[in-house]
Amino acid sequence: NRHNRDVDIYHLGRFAGFGTRHNIQHWGCSAKQLRISTCMNRRFHYYLTTDERTGDVLQEVVEADRRLDNLDAHRKIPYNPKHADSKKLLEQDHCRISVGTDYGAAVANWLTAWERTGDP
């Protein structure tokens, strides 16, 4: 849990709030996903221990989903400006989000933030 919290999650930079899966070496996978950094993995640890560092990370990832509008977090899928779908996505206020790996994690982050603060 601490390893995932402190090593597998980006805390700074353009990937802040996202996590990366392991290959042979850390940070070898090109997929940057919310499922790795989701609050669901550490919320019970926080509630049982009230560990301040865990609380800080829970707060860091609450709005990580907002970065999806500037980041294509899917692995090894190149951006192709000539492809009609790529142009359409850039021209609209849409982002690419996977239901299981990204949306589920984002909802878990929102729920945990609400549980901790009571702030909708």
Q: Are 13 and 85 in contact (CB under 8 A)?
A: no
Quote the CA–CA distance of 118 and 120 in Å, as a whole number. Answer: 6
Query: Is 20 in a helix, a strand, or coil?
Result: strand
The per-residue pLDDT for range 68-114, each reduced to its tens digit, is 877 766 655 555 556 655 555 555 566 777 788 888 999 999 999 99
Residue with tokens 């899928």: 77
Its pTM stands at 0.77
The overall average pLDDT reported for the chain is: 80
In sequence order, the β-bridge partners of residue 82 are none
pLDDT at 4: 81
pLDDT at 58: 93
Q: Are 41 and 4 in contact (CB under 8 A)?
A: yes
Better-predicted residue by pLDDT, 101 or 54: 54
